[in-house]
């Protein structure tokens, strides 16, 4: 069995809800980046010991939150020693709009993983792109690089679309499953 860690920042609770579903699917430990962009020393130990790391962030102003960026910048200490070389990585983002420049945030997460010498896992779920498709369908936003989720601005954290949460659990299982296969 591989060890997977989901590390995320959530400003209003919506991305936390998505992170919890990703973690459930991956049977992963979950780490929250706090409002100051910090994590505990024990959290760094968990990340260093993980076989797979799944990044999560809301998309703010077309990219990751500043709190996630602060965490990403702090990983340069690990980068310098190549401590995360060959780990499996994945990522997800959430915003209020169907697009909201989420792809830019995902590419930022993918680039961070690549700088660490990691192996990025794509979503692997076909898009629900027919006329009959709804927000309750898996991958209704049509992502491929990683998980895209949408939480309307006037929705509570408990109102993340059902299809996005199902996709989150599937993606968590996919990342953890690939990490387990590569470990053997």
Q: Which stretches in the chain have pLDDT values below 50?
A: none
* Three-state secondary structure call for residue 142: coil
pLDDT the model gives residue 99 = 83
This prediction has a pTM of 0.97
- Cα-Cα-Cα-Cα torsion 54, 183, 116, 74, nearest 10 degrees, comes to 50
CATH architecture assigned to 4-182: 3-Layer(aba) Sandwich (3.40)
pLDDT the model gives residue 1 = 63
Contact yes or no for 71/37 (Cβ under 8 A): yes
* Residue in 94, 80, 93, 11 with CA at minimum distance from that of residue 54: 93
pLDDT the model gives residue 55 = 98
pLDDT the model gives residue 2 = 80
DSSP 118-137: -EE---------STT--TTS
pLDDT the model gives residue 163 = 95
Sketch the domain layout of the chain as residue ranges.
4-182
| Cα–Cα distance, 19 to 31 (Å, whole number) | 9
* Residue in 59, 49, 129 with CA at minimum distance from that of residue 101: 59
Q: How many CB atoms lie within 10 A of CB 63?
A: 17
């Amino acid at each position: 069995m591989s060890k997977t860690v989901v590390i995320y920042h959530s400003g209003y609770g919506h991305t936390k809800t998505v992170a919890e579903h990703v973690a459930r699917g991956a049977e992963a430990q979950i780490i929250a980046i706090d409002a100051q962009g910090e994590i505990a020393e024990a959290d760094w130990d968990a990340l260093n010991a993980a076989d797979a790391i799944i990044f999560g962030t809301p998309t703010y102003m077309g990219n990751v939150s500043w709190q996630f960026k602060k965490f990403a910048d702090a990983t340069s200490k690990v980068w310098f020693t190549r401590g995360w070389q060959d780990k499996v990585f994945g990522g997800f983002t959430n915003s209020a709009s169907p697009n909201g420049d989420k792809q830019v945030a995902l590419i930022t997460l993918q680039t961070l993983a690549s700088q660490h010498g990691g192996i990025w896992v794509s979503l692997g779920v076909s898009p629900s792109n027919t006329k009959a498709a709804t927000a309750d369908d898996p991958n209704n936003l049509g992502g491929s690089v990683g998980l895209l989720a949408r939480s309307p601005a006037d929705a509570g954290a408990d109102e993340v679309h059902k299809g996005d949460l199902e996709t989150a659990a599937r993606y968590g299982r996919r990342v953890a499953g690939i990490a387990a296969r590569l470990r053997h």
